[in-house]
Structure 1
Amino acid sequence: MNSTTRITTPFTAQSTAADVAAGVDLTGKRAVVTGGASGIGIETARTLAAAGAEVTLAVRDLAAGERTAEDIVATTGNKQVHVGRLDLADQASVASFTAAWEGPLHILVNNAGVMASPETRTPEGWELQFATNHLGHFALTTGLHRALAAAGGARVVSVSSSAHLRSPVVFDDIHFRERPYEPWSAYGQSKTANVLLAVEATRRWADDGITANALMPGGIRTNLQRHLPQEDLDGMLARSRAAGVTWKTPEQGAATSLLLAISPLLDGVGGRYFEDCNEAEPHQEGTRSGVAAYALDPEAAALLWQVSVDALAA
């Protein structure tokens, strides 16, 4: 496929995950969805299961995971829905998850995340949002590389956000050790990192048949916003309405994830950023859509990969 051609699909902001999955048979395929017990993670996992995949919900809260798995089995009839414990902010937890995985993995949806949390640090001293949203998923993805390669044609999906427009990765001070902590800048930086991971994973792993893409799911009211005061939420809604943006249902919010995970329209496509089920246009100043050039910068992607490897090895 011509790398300069922007990818468009028949799907839109109103499309649901089920719309995107219509006609796709995932029998014999295996998928992992992080954060699969809340928000769009539930609908992502449900739609993968409905299409016949064996799905593992990788979650912090095992009880919530088990409830979700039971619900998905009941609504899809697919009994191959499993639950595994995964705390992305805890590198030992990530290592335990990857070590326990056996056999091929066809689809990895890096969906979990924290947003605009108060300043918090992991035991390593890492800022929590970067540690969870990027470093945890980086360790998970690289830890599952062999399983992804064994699948042949595996796909990695990174759930990013339009908030990536708030900040590039600030390599001089990723963890806010020198600059004052600002929750939205920290979140934005971590969401840029999600896109850069897709860019570099695709470059490094193309020979293994692995492609990775990132996406903005759209505005959806989920548990992700648990750290936000009500007035901030109200403000977000008001700004969205003023910009003509309608908030999505979880089923609509999961649609772009499903597109990147399973649609034949994306065969062999990697290193790109999508929104509303289509590849995003370059960001235009003054708008809240599109993709920032720094999020697709191959040099930043390569640097972030090395910085991440070094952080995990320290």
Structure 2
Amino acid sequence: MRITTPFTRESTAADVSAGVDLTGRRAIVTGGASGIGVETARALALAGAEVTLAVRDTEAGHRTAEAIAVATGNAAVAVLHLELADRDSVAKLASDWQGPLHILVNNAGVMVEPLNRTPEGWEHQFATNHLGHFGLALGLHDALASAGDARIVAVSSSAHLRSGVVFDDIHFERREYDPWSAYGQSKSANVLFAVEATRRWAADGITANALMPGGIRTNLQRHQADDAEFAEIAKTYPWKTTEQGASTSVLLAVSPLLAGVGGRYFEDNNEAELNIPPSHDGVAAHALDPEAATRLWEVSLELLAR
């Protein structure tokens, strides 16, 4: 049955977390020092959670943590360094974490960037948006399992409609590189991760869901400054505020309506229906394909193996 809520695209993070008490619960928000990551972290802190911002720029992270603490009255806002495209950085955060983890928000990401490769030769958007978060969740599995009812939130995008995971050439070694296809592939991977993580880990009390936050003007779009197609779309696009953009992430992280629910894709605070082209709404069937989800998990394990 499709999950629906009283909330809409206009709802804010504060709206969906109103009345929720997260006292004693611990959360990590990747990319928590910018864009919707800040608002996600702020809403969790306001509800009483102990929040850790996992960020590349720790100076910005500390400034953000201090501002959140002042605004919410919750001093339990910490900062840890995380570079998602660096396996050692991901492994260090996971190994350093002590105690249970109730909420993991895989929020950080890069979008439609020029071709860039990690030292392993991996395409950078896939490495950052999917592999880094996959490795982080894997490393934090025991912490999540010890929480008893943990949730993983995977921030995807409607761009997942542009491309499924091209298993024959994930890293654009043979096909021509296209920034949007690469981004779309990484965002499909986020949804497939939620599908397979729930299948594998629900028995451990861990569920995962993915979401489309909506269009929000943030630094994420920095690589589209000279993109004529994007500029034309942007003129009439129904942009959200960051407070609205963070709402679906927060809904999946805290709402009692999502207790025990996993492996689904949400937009505008409700579970999305299947996409029907040429619409840009809804979730693509390829992103919910259980066989593709299992295959991606296995491929990801192979890639991260040392």
Q: TM-score, normalised on structure 2? A: 0.98
1:295 pairs with 2:287: yes
1:134-174 deviation digits (Å, cap 9, x = unpaired): 00000000100000000011000000000000000000000
Which amino acid is the alignment partner of residue 153 of structure 2? V
Shift of 1:230: 4.6
Task: Evaluate the alpha carbon distance shift between residue 108 and residue 235 of structure 1 in structure 2; reply closer, same or farther with a 3 A threshold.
Answer: same
Which amino acid is the alignment partner of residue 58 of structure 2? L
Who is 1:102 aligned against?
Answer: 98
2:28 to 32, 35, 50: 32
Gaps of 5+ in 2: none
1:206 pairs with 2:202: yes
Partner-residue secondary structure (3-state), 2:303: helix
Q: Which runs of 4+ in 1 moved over 3 A?
A: 230-233
Shift of 1:306: 0.2
Within 5 Å, give how 1:254-293 maps onto structure 2: 254-293=246-285
Partner-residue secondary structure (3-state), 1:191: helix
Q: TM-score, normalised on structure 1? A: 0.96
Shift of 1:226: 1.2
Shift of 1:246: 1.5
Shift of 1:235: 1.8
Gaps of 5+ in 1: none
1:173 pairs with 2:165: no
Q: Give the RMSD, CA atoms, in angstroms.
A: 0.8
Which amino acid is the alignment partner of residue 257 of structure 2? L
1:235 pairs with 2:232: yes
Shift of 1:200: 0.2
Q: Distance in 2 between matches of 1:218 and 1:231?
A: 19
2:38 to 36, 39, 42: 42
Partner-residue secondary structure (3-state), 1:113: coil
Within 5 Å, give how 1:136-147 maps onto structure 2: 136-147=132-143
Which amino acid is the alignment partner of residue 291 of structure 1? V
1:22 pairs with 2:14: no
Q: Distance in 1 between matches of 2:32 and 2:233?
A: 25
Partner-residue secondary structure (3-state), 2:27: strand
Q: Distance in 2 between matches of 1:292 and 1:159?
A: 15
Partner-residue secondary structure (3-state), 1:212: strand
Which amino acid is the alignment partner of residue 53 of structure 1? A
Which amino acid is the alignment partner of residue 70 of structure 1? E
Which amino acid is the alignment partner of residue 153 of structure 1? D
Partner-residue secondary structure (3-state), 2:211: strand
Within 5 Å, give how 1:54-65 maps onto structure 2: 54-65=50-61
Partner-residue secondary structure (3-state), 1:310: helix
Shift of 1:231: 4.9
Shift of 1:32: 0.1
1:209-265 deviation digits (Å, cap 9, x = unpaired): 110000000000001011112554422313xx3xxx521000000000001000000
Q: Distance in 2 between matches of 1:168 and 1:236?
A: 22
Who is 2:66 aligned against?
Answer: 70
Who is 1:311 aligned against?
Answer: 303
1:12 pairs with 2:4: no
